[in-house]
A and B are shown apart, each in its own frame.
Chain A
C-alpha cells in the first residue's frame, strides 16, 4: 500500500510525473480518473470510436400497436376498439407493419437502416414501472437488485481515463443506466445554460467571480495533500476515511465534472450546426443537441435521451399516435443529420421501454402494463430487418394475459457492447447468454 503523497503545490500535483504513482488508496478512484483527464487533455483517438444513442420510451410502450401483427385475428379479437386497422398499417412484410404514425421509421426500413427486434423482454417479467425500468437500466435478473447501470459498468470496465463527457444524458436527471461504482457521465438540458453564469467580471487586477467559483469547487483532494474531508466541518465525517458515497465528495466530484464538461461542450456547441431541419418536440430537441455534439467531435461514447408519456392506461389512441409520430420523425431527422455530417457509420441508435402492454385492451380505452415488446435499432451498420421471433398471440399461450418474450434484452445489450462498442460483455452484464448479432 502506498503512503499518501506529500504534495507541495497544486501545479506540481497536476504536472507531477509521479501522478500515476501518487494515486494512492486515499484518493477516491473517480477523482484519480478526473485528474488524469485534466492533465491529459482530450485524447485524439477518441473521436473515431463508435457512438451509441439510447432512446428511452418511458412509461411502457404498447408494442402491439407499434409493430402491428395485422394478419393475426387474435390481435383484433383482443382489441376490438384499440386495434390498428390493417389498411392503415405501414406493412413491412405479410405479417407485421408499423403504426401509421411511424412513417419516419418506415423510411429507414426502406433504406436498410432499421432493425426491428421482436418480442424483447426477460424471464419473470415485472409489471412495476420503476422495477422494470430498473431491470432494463441495470440488466439485472428480475429477482436481483443491482444498483449500477449497464452503461455505468461499461464505462467502468472499458473507459478508464475518459472524460466526464464519455456519457452524455440530455435531460434533467441522470439515468440509472449511467450509475457506476465510479460515476461517469454528465447530464444537461442545453449548452447555453450549462454553465456558471457570472455577474462579477474581472476588473484590472481583480479576479472574476467565476475564478473564485472555480476555486471553491475544486475537490479538497487537489489542495489537501491527498487527504479526504475530515474534521467536524460542513459535510465531513469526523475521523473516518470517506468513501465515494460521502455526499460532499460526490458533490465536489460533480462540481468538477460540471466545470470540465461545461467548458468542453460549450466550446464545441458554438461551432457545430444541425444540417437538416427537425420537427418540433422535446425528443427532437434532445436529438438535435446530440447530433451537434457528435458533429462537433465531443468524445462521447454513449448518449442518452428520453421520451415520456407512454403509460397509456386511458384513451390511448390520441396520445400514442402523437408519441410515435414524434419518435419516428425525430429519429429520421437525426439520422439524416448524422449522415450529412459524414458520421453515419459511427452512430447506432437503440430504443427501449420498460415493458410492452397487455394484449387485451382495458375498459378505459387503453392498455395496462404488460411484458415483451419490440425494440428498434437504427443505423447504417445495423443488421436490418424484422429480427427475432414474433411473440405468440394465441390466448392460451400468453403468460397472465401478456406476451411471452422471445429475445432476452440482455442478448441485445451484449451484442451492442461486443459488436458496436468493441469490448467483452460478460463481466459488464454479468450475464452469460449468447450475444445477438446486431451488426
Chain B
C-alpha cells in the first residue's frame, strides 16, 4: 500500500488532480507546468511550500488593540443607554471586520503561491470548527486562522497543543474559566471526541477526569491571551485512558495523541478531505502507520500520500464534490478573474452552505454529497451566472424587515470574465476548438459525449459567437452536474 504512482501514469490528468486536491486547481498553463516536473518534483513543489516566502500581509486591524483595556473601563462606567450604543457600534465593527477577513482569506486562496498551505488551513478550520458566532471577535478568529497557516503542516501534537491554548478555542469551548470546583467538561469532551480520538474511544469518566486536568487553563480577557491560574487547578491524581498521574492539560493532550487508535483517527480525516472519500480498512491502517513512521508530522506524510497510487485511483479522481469554497476559488482561478466584492463572496458562500469562520456545528462541514441539495445546486447554477457576467440574475431588494433574516441581498456588480485573457483566436471562429478549450479549462478531462453534443448545439444556435454567447456557454457548462465534481 502507498507505493508511488508509476511514472507512465503521470500526465496532465494526474497533475490536474494533484493541483485540485492539494490546492484549488488552476488554469491549463499551471497544470502543464506541474505535469512537466514529473510526479516527485510536482509533489515537492506543492508540499515544500515553506521554501518560497509568502509576503501577504494580514488585515490592518489584526493586531492587539491597545485601546482595549480603556474601552472595557469606559464600558463599565457607561449608563445602560450608552452601553447599548457602544455595543451596537462594536457589533457593526465586528461584522465589517469579519466580512473583510473572509474576503482576505479567499483572496489568499485565489492568488497564493502556497495552495497546499491554504488548503490545509481550510482543513484545520473545519476540523477544529470554531465559530465566530460564539467567539464574537474577528481578531481572535484571525489569530486562529494564522495559527493553522503557520503550524498546519507540522507536528500533530504541537499543532493540537497550540490550538488548545488558542484564545478563540478557549472561548469556543468555554475553557476560559475552568475551576477545580466546577471543571468545564465541554472542552475535555470535544478534545477527545472531535479532535483526536472519535466517538467510543474514551469513556465519560475519561472526560470528567480530563476536565479536572484542564482546570486552571484560562483566558485573560483584558489582553486576550491564554494564562494558567494555579489556584484554579485541581492538582490531584487523575486516571485518564487507563493512565494515572497528576495530569495537567499538556499531559492530557500527550496522552490522547499517543493512544493506539489516535493516528488512524486523524489520518482518516485528512485522507477523506484530500481524497474525497473515507479510506478502506486496509488503507486506513497503512495511512496510520505511515503517520507514526514520520513522528506524526503532517508534511512528510502528505508527501507519501500525494505520490501514492491510491491517491490517483480512478475511484478517487474526479469523484469529489466541490465544497462551496473550492467552487468559488477554483472558478475564479480557472476563469482567471478577480473575486467579486467582499459582500458578495460572503453572501454566496453563506447561501451555498459554507460560511467561513462559522461552521454550522462542532463537527465542521460534512462535505461530500452533503454539499448538494436541490436548493444548493440551483444556488451554484445561479452563482455561476454572477461569476461569469458579474451580474446576479436574482438581484432583488434588501428589505430585510419585510423578507426576514437570512435573505440574500442585492449583490454588487462584479465585472465579467475577460475572455481575451485566455481565449485564442481559433476559439472565436471554430466552435469545436472552443469546446475543447472550455472542456480543458473547466473540467480538465473530456466531457461525456451527450454533454458535448448539447454544448455543440448551443454554440451552433448562437453562431456567429460574440462575447455574450461564450459567457453564456461557460455559465451553462458550470450549471451541470459534471462541473460540481473535481
> Could you tell me which A residues sit within 8 Å of B by CB distance?
127-131, 164, 169, 172-174, 186-190, 192-200, 206-207, 209, 212-213, 215-217, 220, 223-224, 229, 231-238, 245, 247-248, 250-252, 254-255, 257-258, 261-262, 280-282, 284-285, 313-314, 362-364, 368, 400
Contact = CB atoms under 8 A, between A and B. Distances in A.
A207 B449 CA distance: 21
A125 to B, nearest CB: 11
Interface in B388-407: 389, 391, 393-394, 396, 401, 403-407
A229 B482 CA distance: 11
B20 to A, nearest CB: 12
B442 to A, nearest CB: 10
Contacts of B199: 128, 131
B447 interface: yes
Given A128-B193, A172-B351, A189 B406 contact: yes
A231 B378 CA distance: 27
A282 B449 CA distance: 44
A254 B372 contact: yes
A254 B177 contact: no
Interface of B: 174, 177, 179, 182, 185-186, 189, 193, 199, 204, 314-315, 318-321, 351, 353, 360-363, 368-370, 372-379, 381-382, 385, 389, 391, 393-394, 396, 401, 403-408, 443, 445-451, 454-455, 457-458, 461-462, 472, 475-477, 479-482, 484-485
A358 to B, nearest CB: 10
A129 B361 CA distance: 8
B382 A197 contact: yes
A400 B381 CA distance: 50
A130 B361 contact: yes
A164 B396 CA distance: 28
A335 B408 CA distance: 28
Contacts of A169: 373
Contact of A237 (B179, B314, B461): B314
Contacts of A284: 404
A194 B360 contact: no
Contacts of B403: 285
Contact of A257 (B369, B374, B484): B374
Contact of B454 (A216, A251, A282): A216
Given A234-B446, A251-B372, A363-B177, A212 B458 contact: yes
A212 B480 CA distance: 10
A301 B88 CA distance: 43
Contacts of B314: 232, 237-238
Contact of A229 (B182, B186, B445, B448): B448
Given A213-B476, A284-B404, A368-B185, A194 B375 contact: yes
A173 B367 CA distance: 11
Given A193-B394, A247-B321, A364-B174, A174 B382 contact: no
Contacts of B485: 234-235, 247-248, 251
A234 B442 CA distance: 11
B446 A232 contact: yes
B186 A186 contact: no
Contact of A189 (B375, B385, B482): B375
Nearest to B442: A234
Nearest to B352: A172
B201 to A, nearest CB: 13
B461 A207 contact: yes
A313 B178 CA distance: 13
Given A248-B482, A251-B485, A172 B177 contact: no
Nearest to B483: A234
Most buried by A among B318, B472, B477: B318
A217 B450 CA distance: 11
Given A199-B385, A237-B315, A281-B404, A187 B374 contact: yes
B476 A187 contact: no
B443 A195 contact: no
Contacts of A313: 174, 186
Give 3 closest A-B pairs by Cβ, nearest first.
A197-B393, A251-B481, A258-B374
A233 B448 contact: yes
6 contacts: A164-B374, A186-B374, A216-B477, A247-B320, A363-B177, A368-B185
B458 A173 contact: no
B175 to A, nearest CB: 11
A307 to B, nearest CB: 12
A190 to B, nearest CB: 7
A234 B443 contact: yes
B382 A196 contact: yes
Most buried by A among B204, B372, B404: B404
B374 A254 contact: yes
A123 to B, nearest CB: 15
Contacts of A261: 374
B389 to A, nearest CB: 7
A262 B378 contact: yes
A173 B353 contact: yes
Given A196-B378, A247-B321, A363-B179, A173 B448 contact: no
A282 B370 contact: no
Contacts of B484: 247, 251
Contact of B374 (A188, A197, A216, A281): A188
Given A198-B393, A213-B479, A254-B373, A190 B407 contact: yes
Contact of B447 (A209, A233, A251): A233
B376 A250 contact: no
